[in-house]
Structure 1
Amino acid sequence: MNKVTLSVAAVAVASAFAACSGTGSDGSTHTRQHFIETQYIDSAVKPGDNFYQFVNGKWLDTVKIPAEKFGVGGFNQLIDDNQEKLKAIVEDALKNDHKPGSIEQKVGDYFASGMDTVTRDKRGYEPIKPMLSAIDGIKDIPSLMTYVADAAKRGDNSIISFGVGPDQKNSSMNIAAFHQTGIGLPDRDYYFRTDTATERIQNAYKTFVANLFTLTGTDSAAAVKNAQVVYNIEKQIAGSHKTRVQLRDVKGNYNKVSVASLVSSEPNIGWTDLLKNLGAGSIDSLDMEQPAYYVQLNKMLTSIPIDQWKVYLKANTIGSYAGVLSTAFSDAAFAYSKELTGRDKQEALWKRMVSAIDHNLGELLGQLYVKKYFPPEAKKRMDQLVTNLETAFSNRIQHLDWMSDSTKATAQVKLKAIIRKIGYPTTWRDYSKVNVDSTKYFENAVAARENNYNFELSQLGKPVDKNLWYMTPPTVNAYYDPTTNQIVFPAGILQYPFFDKDADDAVNYGAIGMVIGHEMTHGFDDQGSQYDKDGNINNWWTKEDKAKFDEKVKKIQGLYDSFTVLDSLHVNGQLTTGENMADFGGVAIAWDAFKLTKQGQDTTKIDGYTPDQRFFMSLAQIWRSKYKDARVRQLINLDPHSPAMWRVLGPLMNFDPFYKAFNVQPGEKMYIKPEDRLKIW
């Protein structure tokens, strides 16, 4: 719960510990000799006009987005590289007979079962017929809620979203939490917008739902009517949902309540039986993160006829398993996703399968991944980088001119308390109860989902295990968790262009250094700053310091609101506040840490650029990306991160050392008067 993560975005790259040169899947070439890909510099653009375009312009002008992709770039390419590595791992696991129950047997047979489309297509929707029959057997609200709970234990959430995680005001203990859910479109706002692009998505979604019914034997006319029933229910549900911006309200999304009060106030949900059926019958309180949704659900359970609820549950159930049934179901899901993302062609099945294994058997596959691709020296170098960034952040806090000494002292304590995780877990998850059969993909997927549910449930009411990871080792991403005060860097992101053990400090500090600083800053952004060193929601600010901080937050929001992305589409400054603040902090902290290194104090040029210039060029290079317009619009609606170009330009146009490194002058488009430049950490 309440994870704050770094988003995936963009660059054409080589894998970290591979050869010195090669060709990316987007057709680009790269050289590892000097790590900055100077062949893509657009010298017609002044660095002070658009630094992102200056560093990446020739790449942006020539790169083509493949039909099966919604975008290309550094994150995307690194994910592709990792998929190739994971494919090699699972194919190696298939080459030899392995002991039943071994990691290799489970990973290999899971892959084989998913790739066996002949068997999957022959089975059609047979695997879910018992579930559909169970829905047909629903007679009343209690039996409906029993089905909902049974489905949730298979990882199939419909109108209930249940999880276990740290209590945000008692972070050493785990608590049950319930979240808003129940809609099929990506977000509540998709049900209420009336622009042409959104209406196309709405219609594509209704077509998708209708196709789910026809694929399970319903005639086309009835299927269309069913789809409208489902949509109407979801639109009522969406009206109770908080917006993406409202979901960023830390205190507003923590509501610890007694089960007894819910039993009394929401009798139709049947909380006593629901919790018992979920395996959580012993609890007496829980965190109701978005209460309005469950108030609305309680009303809708009686206002909507049972027969309509059964139609809704069938659509949800079929849709939940569309990716693990026959080809026709995955094709139907892809037809809908095309409208959302602009992707014209479905990814190869093997890519979908290695992603599925990573998602469902992540720490099994992860053990094989780190053994082959993550050398100990990489972890050692990364650990030193984190230490240097922590020192730099501590120095910045100490020299802030807007914060009082008492708040600084508390901030220093929190910074020192941050737990770092690098590469992979020290203790691996147990998958012994997941039996994998090379001929039964559906059953394998359900077994993995049930195992994940039961693992999470096993943490309920127990002390928080701070050794747990919420990303798998191959993941190309990183995160900060405010409830455990941890920064986590999976092995997947610790590769070029983000990190290379052989790269010069300017490159590493501008890339992975910025990422490290970004995640550290999340502990002190507008959300993370509301948690103390132990991960509890607890104000540690003086009134005066908090007022100054909030004013800086508003200025950051205003800056990003002014950035235009497509036509009249702007960045949402409120939605992206935390990530923008983390980008500001990431750049500043990484810079200070870089200046503590030998190269950071030198002026020796490489490829004609000084160490200071290479730092900023590396930073701009990691965010290099290009997306289809449909995907851009989707991200603006849903993603708490700003588009890649503004993740570069926003911080740099407010950062004095950038001006000095590239001699940015008044009149250039990125220029801001010194007294107007925004500074936080």
Structure 2
Amino acid sequence: MSDKVNTALIKDDIYEAVNGEWLKDAKIPADHSSTGGFMDLVDGIEKTLRADFKALAAGEWEPNNAEMAEFKKFYQLVFDFKQRDQAGAEPIKPIIKRIEELESYQDLDAQLSDWILSGLPLPFNFDIEADMKNAQVNALFAGVPSLILPDKTYYAQGNQAAKQLMPVYTEMARKLLTMVGYSADEAEAMVEEAKHFDAQIAPHVKSAEESADMTKMYNPEAFSDFAKATNKVDLVKAVNGLIGTTPDQIIDTEPAYFAALKDIMDDNNFVLMKSWMIVKTVIAYSNVLSEDFRVTGGTYRRALSGQKEPASQSKAAYYLATGTFDQVVGDYYGHKYFGEKAKQDVHDMVVKMINVYKQRLTDNDWLGEDTRKKAIVKLNALMIQVGYPDAIDPIFKQYQVDTAEDGGTLVSNVQKFTKINTKDQFSKWNQPVERGKWEMSANTVNAYYHPFKNIIVFPAAILQAPFYSLDQSSSENFGGIGAVIAHEISHAFDNNGSQFDEFGNLNNWWSKSDHEHFDQLAQKMIKEFDGIPFAGEKVNGKLTVSENIADAGGLSCAEEAAKGEDDCDLSAFFINWARIWRNKSTEQHKQLLLSIDVHAPSELRANVQVKNLADFYTTFDVQPGDGMYMAPSDRVNIW
């Protein structure tokens, strides 16, 4: 890499040593809240695909499959700004009217199944996901609505962020309501009612820290008992309308919330709930209406992240179109810009990292033999997805676009696709889990491990420099994508993943003493990060523990893999690790992520984890008194 590294500074701050020159000159674009490693890749892919799809829409190249042909029609519809501006609020008025016409809970009850299929707001929701104790079969889950503020902790008395954010939300919501036809007085009253309803929800839902413990999601309950959570609507009838029968069981992800649902859905709150529904709906649809709606509707989100300006009209349209047809776009991107050769090369790298992990488990000195064997069984069962799927998800065959000539609007098409997706989701109840189904499109710069499916996924978009390139040395690639790959493998053995077996079942396969030892190590990881000052706040070690365990395991295993290569250069390995976390963010964005994100800040991911590895000290001659030095007794080594 051509970036200038201040080698003299590595002993004190490797992140600054590697990225300092870049940080001096880097500018956060006005329509961004951050710039750097991951975001640079996102921006690069956007530039490439926007050029390609502009040519597609202009007829300069022909779609190579039926799904891409429908995407072309949708893309043209999204980019018809003249038609969208002329239509103004009209396309959303029938949806608002549907909410306005509710006179009672009975009115809602009469159409509840279709309400859910239409994606309209409710103070509860249902979802289909693998049963956490029988992960081969899909189960029904109950969930909670999102809050206005980012997390329930923002509702604590005296929270300064809430004092700044709620007025922004209030002003935005009032303005949107007047834009759809309400008077200023009506808008003011409805927004206050919506906020009052939201405030009644907030005390009963989990915080981000509480939600970080995935095992606490699993609260199976007889459906007949769960349905008594409210007597204002018939949940038995509603669910019957969604899945065609009454299930024996539902998995209640937040029992404390559903215990309070009777109070939240009482007669005194009906008018408040209606206003809450209307406000949420207008905000949700603002992005698919005219330009003034889009810009106004993004005001609060921009305040949350510190983004100075809205994205351009064409950029927002690109993301709306590609997000709706995500797997179709991913198929195009993967085949054109990644290809089978790179797919195989990265797949081989993943297998290599799994084998390193197996060896480390075999050599592990704190796990008992039975637990070690079961861990290796789990690794052997791990499913790998690299690049892009072999075929486009069949649901996109149902995406038939109604063009303007057919009387279709952007809103009507989005509504139609929402219903198709929701129906498809509920049709999977009690069916075998599609373990190999791709849930992230190939043009997404990310990767993940799914504990219910024991699967790791690496979309094509992340598989480029500085994470991975055939032009980089093996050590640079291991410090980049190798560590990311091993990070995702490590999630199978973090504080959440370690509680799921090789099939994805919530099932304790550890001995008691092994789990106690692991918990002690996890506590050390919590302590290592907890309270580190950052952006005027402090890192929450408990919120970030699973990702920190995965980072530590990933970096350690990737280093071992790098050492197995003939051209091993640990200096290049550690430097590229610091480079991939390069990031410059607004203060608001940093503070938001500290509150809700399970990942530690990028700078700390780069700096703290290397301190746990003995080879870092010998590679750069780090000694007591140096900024990067950590006493051996404080270093955390789990995997």
Q: Go from structure 1 to structure 2 and tell me whether the alpha carbon gap of 1:656 and 1:331 turns closer, same or farther (over 3 Å shift).
A: same
Q: Go from structure 1 to structure 2 and tell me whether the alpha carbon gap of 1:663 and 1:672 turns closer, same or farther (over 3 Å shift).
A: same
**Match status 1:496 vs 2:465:** yes
Aligned equivalent of 2:559, options 585, 591, 595: 591
1:646 corresponds to: 604
Q: Go from structure 1 to structure 2 and tell me whether the alpha carbon gap of 1:37 and 1:298 turns closer, same or farther (over 3 Å shift).
A: farther
RMSD value, Cα? 1.9
Deviation at 1:560, TM superposition (A): 0.5
Give 1:234-383 correspondences, 5 Å limit: 234-279=198-243, 281-383=245-347
2:172 corresponds to: 208
Q: Which moved more, 1:194-203 or 1:476-485?
A: 194-203
Residue 581 of structure 2 aligns with an amino acid whose one-letter code is W
Alpha-carbon distance in 2 for matches of 1:449, 1:529? 35
Deviation at 1:507, TM superposition (A): 1.2
1:233 corresponds to: 197
Aligned equivalent of 2:361, options 374, 397, 407: 397
- Which 5+ residue runs of structure 1 have no aligned equivalent? 1-35, 601-610
Q: Go from structure 1 to structure 2 and tell me whether the alpha carbon gap of 1:357 and 1:99 turns closer, same or farther (over 3 Å shift).
A: closer
Aligned equivalent of 2:445, options 476, 486, 505: 476
* Kept after mapping to 1: 8 A contact 2:78/2:321: no
Alpha-carbon distance in 1 for matches of 2:316, 2:27? 22
Deviation at 1:274, TM superposition (A): 1.9
**Match status 1:126 vs 2:90:** yes
Q: Secondary structure at the match of 1:304?
A: helix
Deviation at 1:77, TM superposition (A): 0.8
Q: Go from structure 1 to structure 2 and tell me whether the alpha carbon gap of 1:59 and 1:100 turns closer, same or farther (over 3 Å shift).
A: closer
Deviation at 1:79, TM superposition (A): 0.4
Deviation at 1:254, TM superposition (A): 0.5
2:48 corresponds to: 85
Count of aligned residue pairs for this structure pair: 633
Residue 649 of structure 1 aligns with an amino acid whose one-letter code is N
Residue 483 of structure 1 aligns with an amino acid whose one-letter code is F
Deviation at 1:149, TM superposition (A): 4.1
Per-residue deviation, residues 523-579 of structure 1 (Å, max 9, x unmatched): 000000000111001111111111111011111111111321122x11110110100
Alpha-carbon distance in 2 for matches of 1:354, 1:365? 11
Residue 655 of structure 1 aligns with an amino acid whose one-letter code is L
Per-residue deviation, residues 449-494 of structure 1 (Å, max 9, x unmatched): 2222222222111011112111111010000000110000011111
* Kept after mapping to 2: 8 A contact 1:266/1:298: yes
Q: Go from structure 1 to structure 2 and tell me whether the alpha carbon gap of 1:643 and 1:37 turns closer, same or farther (over 3 Å shift).
A: farther
Deviation at 1:625, TM superposition (A): 0.5
2:546 corresponds to: 578
* Kept after mapping to 1: 8 A contact 2:334/2:442: yes
Q: Go from structure 1 to structure 2 and tell me whether the alpha carbon gap of 1:100 and 1:406 turns closer, same or farther (over 3 Å shift).
A: closer
* Kept after mapping to 2: 8 A contact 1:160/1:182: no
Alpha-carbon distance in 2 for matches of 1:672, 1:412? 32
Alpha-carbon distance in 2 for matches of 1:199, 1:285? 41
Per-residue deviation, residues 347-406 of structure 1 (Å, max 9, x unmatched): 122322232233221111122112211121111110111111111111111222221112
Aligned equivalent of 2:479, options 501, 510, 522: 510
Q: Secondary structure at the match of 1:425?
A: coil
Deviation at 1:89, TM superposition (A): 3.1
Alpha-carbon distance in 1 for matches of 2:171, 2:113? 28
Deviation at 1:278, TM superposition (A): 3.2
Aligned equivalent of 1:406, options 366, 370, 380: 370
1:221 corresponds to: 185
Alpha-carbon distance in 1 for matches of 2:123, 2:229? 18
After TM superposition, the runs of 4+ consecutive aligned structure 1 residues lying more than 6 A away are none
Q: Which moved more, 1:434-443 or 1:246-255?
A: 434-443
Q: Secondary structure at the match of 2:260?
A: helix
1:141 corresponds to: 105
2:583 corresponds to: 625
1:13 corresponds to: none
**Match status 1:447 vs 2:405:** no
Alpha-carbon distance in 2 for matches of 1:76, 1:656? 31
Q: Go from structure 1 to structure 2 and tell me whether the alpha carbon gap of 1:193 and 1:662 turns closer, same or farther (over 3 Å shift).
A: farther
Deviation at 1:438, TM superposition (A): 4.5
**Match status 1:670 vs 2:628:** yes
2:518 corresponds to: 549
* Kept after mapping to 2: 8 A contact 1:563/1:570: yes
Per-residue deviation, residues 575-594 of structure 1 (Å, max 9, x unmatched): 10100000001100101111
Residue 459 of structure 2 aligns with an amino acid whose one-letter code is P
* Kept after mapping to 2: 8 A contact 1:89/1:369: no
Q: Go from structure 1 to structure 2 and tell me whether the alpha carbon gap of 1:527 and 1:641 turns closer, same or farther (over 3 Å shift).
A: same
Residue 646 of structure 1 aligns with an amino acid whose one-letter code is L
Q: Secondary structure at the match of 2:239?
A: helix
Q: Secondary structure at the match of 1:321?
A: helix
1:19 corresponds to: none
Alpha-carbon distance in 1 for matches of 2:238, 2:316? 34
2:143 corresponds to: 179
Q: Go from structure 1 to structure 2 and tell me whether the alpha carbon gap of 1:192 and 1:37 turns closer, same or farther (over 3 Å shift).
A: farther
